[in-house]
Structure 1
Amino acid sequence: MTTPAVPGTPRIPEAVHRRRWAILGVLMLSLLIVVLDNSILNVAIKTISTPEPTGLGATQGELEWAINSYTLVFAGLLFTAGLLGDRFGRKRMLLAGLAVFGIGSALAAQSGSPGELIAFRGVMGLGAAFVMPATLAILMNVFEREEQPKAIGIWAAGVGLAVAIGPITGGVLLDHFWWGSVFLINVPIVIVAVILMVVLVPDSKDPKPGRIDLVGVALSVIGLVLLVYGIIKGGQLADFTDPAVLATVLAGLAVLVGFVWYEKRAEHPSIDISYFKNRVFSAAITAIALVFFALMGVTFFSVFYTQSVRGYTPLQTGLLMLPLAAAQLIFAPRARLVVDRFGVRATCVGGLSVIAVTLAAFTIFDSDTPIWVLEVVFFLMGTGMAHIMTPTSVVIMQALPREKAGSASALSNTFRQVGGALGIAVLGSVLSTAYRGGVEDEMRLLPEGMRHTAGESIEATLGAAARLGPRGDGLVSAANDSFLHAMHVTALCGAGVALVGVLVVALFLPGKPPAAAASAPAEPLDREPAPAGR
């Protein structure tokens, strides 16, 4: 048994301490469905973009919204969900979140149009917002401090497991069932998770929880939606100088600035801006956001590369993404050993540098590049991610006191989701703009009324070419060439974002502590900044 922090007053009840690893398994199952949903959707987006009855005929912009309606609701409500968990009990909120997520999944599976899918994905995001922060907050309350890095490493490996299972599961389902099955699969997992949660997981609360900040929540969600809408619209029009696009983006930025201003002055803010005075905390949060910005954007276009350009099935695409997940499973639990040897800064700089190189490597891919090269790139990308997610998660979670675990988890996941949403919006729009610019000369083969829609994505172009019969062969060739060029441009943009992350962590994350101080408690992170209300 772990030695209590204060003799005679153990931090964790003995009964809870004994089953802590079983509790971690249940929390990882809950985490699994939240991450599984997006990783399954990644291999299904091409199918959903095909016309009915196979799919919904969703445009690239609608596909981006199908992903981002989930992530934006998720990100916008994460902190509020964390506070509700702090106030009413993390277990209760986790169970409620699982129930909403399961209902949203069942509804999404029955969507009859892209608009319905976007709406029901938002419902799923609402449920996920209550699941994600609660899992990490409960983890921090059932493990003593010295075991937390190991437990967080295993928790982070759960993300890798979901990334591995999701695309393969999605591929199997799409080979045998209709596209909605990729959402319906969540329902039995939710039922099992709820049963195990009721039996095994203890509840916990913050003795001094914050108040719910409805104004702050509204401002953050409105600002993010306007910003992302403007970016996606710019990509659809291939014109970011369009007055409507500029007005929407600027309005979103203005609302977000107003959100920060309000939070700094609110008596009970949804996000305590003072936390960001701690440079280590801020750098770790920024690193996570930048990683997911780059990764989500690349995942979005890589599916079209493997299926539309290379001709692989959804199941084969899922198997091709296995090295990305396998690397995270292998290295995430062991990343703490690298941190012990080299320090947080060197580990994260190395991880982000690997991601930047692998993103840049996408510029060498062509329609006949040996597929093993893609597998190597995916494995190295997963390795880089594992050496960022674990150390930054530990830094973030240990930067605040244990009773504020919900707030720390919510902040971490908010920036992760916002980074991913902006990555899909920005890099998806770069992809769309570059693609349209390359294929528009060939659009003259189509009736004028079809040209704009057919130029939005490679799937739209291929669908239009199929209707032309043999006359569309030139359009198919142009679509593939234009997509590859657009993918190269987008990958370089993602690599540039990763390099910004390298600079941030190199400047602000701590290096390896002196040997004499390595075993000392990290009290500066516990004391600075002081949590709200204390």
Structure 2
Amino acid sequence: MTVTNDPVARPRIWAAVLGVAVLAQTVAAMDNSVLNLAAKTLADPVAGLDASTGELAWTISAYTVVYAAAMFAGGALADRFGPRWALCTGLAVFMVTSTLAAFSVTPLELVLCRGGMGVGAALITPATLSIALRASEPAQRPKAVAIWASAAAVGIAIGPVVGGLLLSRLWWGSVFLLNLPVSLICLVGIGLWVPRLHVEQRRPLDWPGLVLSFGGLLGVVYGVIQIGGDIGWNSPSVLVPLVVGLALLAVFAVQQSRSRAPSFDVRLFLRRRFAGGGLVLTVAFFGITGQLFYASFYLQDVLGLSPLGAGLAIAPTAIGILAGNLWAPALVRRFSVRKVASVGMVVTTATLASYLVFDASTPVAVFGLMMLVQGFSMGTVVVPATTAAMDDLPSDRSGAGSAVTSGLRQLGGTLGIAVGSTILSAWYRSGLRPALSGLPDDLARQAVGSVQAALSVARTAGRPELVEAATSAYLHAMRITAGVSAVLCLSGLVLIAACLGGKSD
């Protein structure tokens, strides 16, 4: 694919164009996490949709699965019709599906709408990066990329804050309606400032790759979440989607390796530093995204915070990520990619492991400090890993490399939610069941669906002791989940040691 350079000459216009791209990317990234604090409300039989833990995982995962799988097609469409067209179309899809999501009446409707929002986001992200790069002079491009990357990370971190603020005053659907005015502002900004960036050579669409990647990811994530549905890992409803999903991904890898215009160029993984950097990103986002899922229940159901209070407790992550992103380049110049990323991964692992000592009396300030440290350490992992991966590629492969690393971040987040919710559900049910003796079967089944459901059953059945049992079971399940996440995250050290040495050491 060949494109012309279309830098915007005037500094004020350049800043406006970059601002539009960053705002659009922020709102797309924010929806990765804005629903986390609404999970408690969605699980409520009265105020929400009476969603089980598995259904809650799907309301979040549907967005990230489609986002990750369709992003490659989004990049191809931006290359074929121009990033301005792709961004406008993506924002329009995002607005429509966000509106439908806000007024969903069943968990299934919400899952489908979240998938539609993922389609919009998959068009937005490649287009915003392309606009940020191509509207910049060569000397401005490193700064533009740094600002764009920070917007993506901060969007994920501020999602819970925005969600908490809206949930403290409005109903759960309001977290989606916020997307409408922000998207409209972006569309107005596009009309005023974003030029029609010319595409000299149109890249063909990779429909087989899109179908295979989407089907494979959907099968794997569905199978993993089903394990947490109290049906056993050897059930056909678990094994069939897992096996089919893995088979489709294997076919996808072969098909992409033979394609002349692959949307996900698996041949890039033959390059050691690129493969290592990409996989480190996957591991890091696996840990932090999965943690945000169970942290929302801990803060609200165990510590008793309001949605706004829970969002503010998570807010230091955004500050930490910004600081980590700003400091990481200087740290890499002074020490090396491998040393900075290794220390960052160790600290990130330690923050995940800190959940092992959290209980109902943990001060919120301690939790907030942990999130601040975690955000900073994530910044010092993500920036060096991304730099190492992209520096390993020739300039004519940077577009393909960007699509792959963006997809891997989304994949890591998707698997973090799927695996985390599965472990959490299984251990929570196991810990709560002894306290359910004497309850009618329908109430017992409702109680094991989620902590919020158990608290509702405790009120309905007049069983106050069930509140303490549910809290205790959740804390135990959360610690098991956090321990598994920490161990998996620590495996990133092996990747860093094996793959990220060389150019910067």
Unaligned runs of 5+ in 2: none
How much does 1:71 deviate?
Answer: 0.9
| Equivalent residue number for residue 497 of structure 2 | 506
Match of 1:461 in 2: 454
By how many angstroms is 1:209 displaced?
4.3
Q: What per-residue deviation string (whole Å, max 9, x for no partner) do you get for residues 270-302 of structure 1?
A: 222222211111111111111111111110000
Three-state SS of the structure 2 residue aligned to 1:211 is coil
Question: Partners in 2 of 1:436 and 1:13 — Cα distance?
Answer: 57
Conserved 8 A contact 2:223-2:238: yes
Q: CA deviation at 1:15?
A: 1.8
Q: How big is the shift at 1:203?
A: 3.8
Residues 241-289 of structure 1, C-alpha deviations (whole Å, 9 max, x = no match): 3343122212211111121122222343322222221111111111111
2:486 aligned with 1:486, yes or no? no
Indicate which of 18, 38, 45 corresponds to 1:44: 38
The list of structure 1 runs, each at least 4 consecutive aligned residues, that deviate by more than 6 angstroms after superposition, is none
* Cα distance in structure 2, aligned partners of 1:312 and 1:235: 27
1:194 to 184, 187, 191: 187
Is the 8 Å Cα contact of residues 150 and 322 (structure 2) preserved in structure 1?
Answer: yes
Evaluate the alpha carbon distance shift between residue 463 and residue 426 of structure 1 in structure 2; reply closer, same or farther with a 3 A threshold.
same
Q: Give the letter aligned to residue 22 of structure 2.
A: M
Q: CA RMSD in A?
A: 2.1
Match of 1:496 in 2: 487
Larger mean Cα displacement after TM superposition, 99-108 or 168-177: 168-177
Q: CA deviation at 1:26?
A: 1.6
Q: Please list, as runs of the form range in 1=range in 2, the aligned pairs for 1:268-287 lying within 5 A after superposition.
A: 268-287=261-280
Please tell me the residue identity of whatever aligns with 1:32: T
Aligned-partner SS, 1:475 = helix
Aligned to 1:150: 143
Q: Tell me, yes or no, if structure 1 residue 475 matches structure 2 residue 469.
A: no
TM (normalized to structure 1)?
Answer: 0.89
Q: Tell me how far apart the structure 2 counterparts of residues 140 and 404 of structure 1 sit (CA, whole Å).
A: 15
- The correspondence of residues 316-335 of structure 1 with structure 2, limited to 5 A, is 316-335=309-328
Q: Which amino acid aligns with 1:263?
A: Q
Aligned equivalents of 1:389 and 1:197: distance in 2?
Answer: 29
Equivalence map 1:229-248=2 (5 Å): 229-237=222-230, 239-248=232-241
Report the secondary structure of 1:271's partner residue.
coil
* 1:383 aligned partner, one-letter code: F
Q: How does 1:399-438 map to 2 (within 5 A)?
A: 399-400=392-393, 405-438=398-431
The answer for unaligned runs of 5 or more in structure 1 is: 1-9, 515-534
Residues 135-177 of structure 1: per-residue CA shift (max 9 Å, x gap): 2222232345554443332222223442454322222211221
C-alpha change, 1:151 and 1:347, in structure 2 (3 Å) is farther
- Change beyond 3 A, Cα 1:39–1:243: closer
1:121 matched to which residue of 2?
114
Q: Give the structure 2 partner of residue 531 of structure 1.
A: none
Q: Does the C-alpha gap of structure 1 residues 120 and 327 become closer, same or farther in structure 2, counting only changes over 3 Å?
A: same
The answer to whether residue 364 in structure 2 is matched with residue 371 in structure 1 is yes
User: CA separation in 1, counterparts of 2:37 and 2:12?
Assistant: 40
Letter in 2 for 1:497: L
Contact 2:265 2:404 in 1 (8 A): no
**1:475-508 CA distance string (max 9 Å, x none):** 1111111111111110011111111112112211
Change (3 A) 1:402 1:207: farther
Instruction: State the TM-score, normalizing by the size of structure 2.
Output: 0.94
C-alpha distance 405-511 of structure 1, shift in aligned 2 (>3 A): closer
Summarize the Cα distance change of 1:112–1:233 in structure 2 as closer, same or farther, 3 Å threshold.
same
| Superposition pairs of residues 342-357 of structure 1, within 5 angstroms | 342-357=335-350
Which of 157-166 and 126-135 deviates more?
157-166
Indicate the residue corresponding to 1:67 in structure 2: 60
Cα distance in structure 2, aligned partners of 1:271 and 1:205: 23
- Indicate the larger mover: 179-188 or 242-251: 242-251
* 1:257–1:318 CA distance, 2 compared to 1 (3 A): same
Q: What is the letter of the counterpart of residue 41 of structure 2?
A: T
Query: Within 1, Cα distance between the matches of 2:380 and 2:179?
Result: 29
Q: Which amino acid aligns with 1:35?
A: A
CA drift at 1:14: 5.9
Alignment partner of 2:35: what SS? helix
Alignment partner of 1:255 out of 245, 248, 253: 248
The one of 386, 389, 392 aligned to 2:385 = 392
Distance 1:35 1:149 in 2: 21
**CA contact 2:22–2:151 (8 Å) conserved in 1:** yes
* Whole-angstrom distance in 2 between the partners of 1:312 and 1:97: 35
Partner of 2:329: 336
SS in 1 for 2:464: helix
Contact 1:294 1:498 in 2 (8 A): yes
Give aligned-pair identity as a percent. Answer: 39
Match of 2:74 in 1: 81
Residues 141 and 402 of structure 1 are in contact (CA less than 8 Å); yes or no, is this contact kept in structure 2?
A: no
Does the residue aligned with 1:331 lie in a helix, a strand or coil? helix
Question: Which residue number corresponds to residue 167 of structure 1?
Answer: 160
| Post-superposition CA distance 1:405-453 (Å, at most 9, x none) | 5433322221111111111001110111111111111122321233234
**SS in structure 2 of the partner of residue 40 of structure 1:** coil
In the other structure, the counterpart of 1:294 is 287
Is this contact kept in 2: 1:153–1:334, CA < 8 A? no
* Amino acid corresponding to residue 47 of structure 1 in structure 2: T
Judged with a 3 Å threshold, the aligned counterparts in structure 2 of structure 1 residues 505 and 147 are, in CA distance, closer, same or farther, namely farther
**Does the CA-based 8 Å contact 1:66-1:121 persist in structure 2?**
yes
| Residue type at the aligned position of 2:45 | P
Residue 197 of structure 2 aligns to a residue whose secondary structure is: coil
Q: What is the rounded CA distance, in whole Å, between the counterparts of 1:172 and 1:213 in structure 2?
A: 41
CA contact (8 A) 1:79 1:407 kept: no
Partners of 2:276 and 2:499 within 8 A in 1: yes
Shifted more, 99-108 versus 394-403: the winner is: 394-403
Match for 2:489: what amino acid? A
The whole-number CA distance in structure 2 between the counterparts of 1:305 and 1:442 is 20
Deviates more, 1:163-172 or 1:30-39: 163-172
Structure-2 change in CA distance of 1:399 and 1:88 (3 Å): farther
Most deviating of 130-139 and 374-383:
130-139
Specify the code of the residue in structure 2 equivalent to 1:488: R
Alpha-carbon distance between aligned partners in 1 of 2:351 and 2:196, rounded to the nearest angstrom: 42
Is 1:25 paired with 2:16? no
C-alpha distance in structure 1 between counterparts of 2:112 and 2:202, whole Å:
31
Letter in 1 for 2:189: L
User: Contact 2:65 / 2:217 at 8 angstroms: preserved in 1?
Assistant: yes
C-alpha distance in 2, partners of 1:135/1:349? 30
Q: Which amino acid is 1:326 matched to? A: I
Task: Please tell me the residue identity of whatever aligns with 1:25.
Answer: G
Structure 1 residues 500 and 354: alpha-carbon distance in aligned structure 2, compared to 1, 3 A threshold:
same
Counterpart pick for 2:50 among 50, 57, 60: 57
**d(CA) in 2 for partners of 1:271, 1:257:** 13
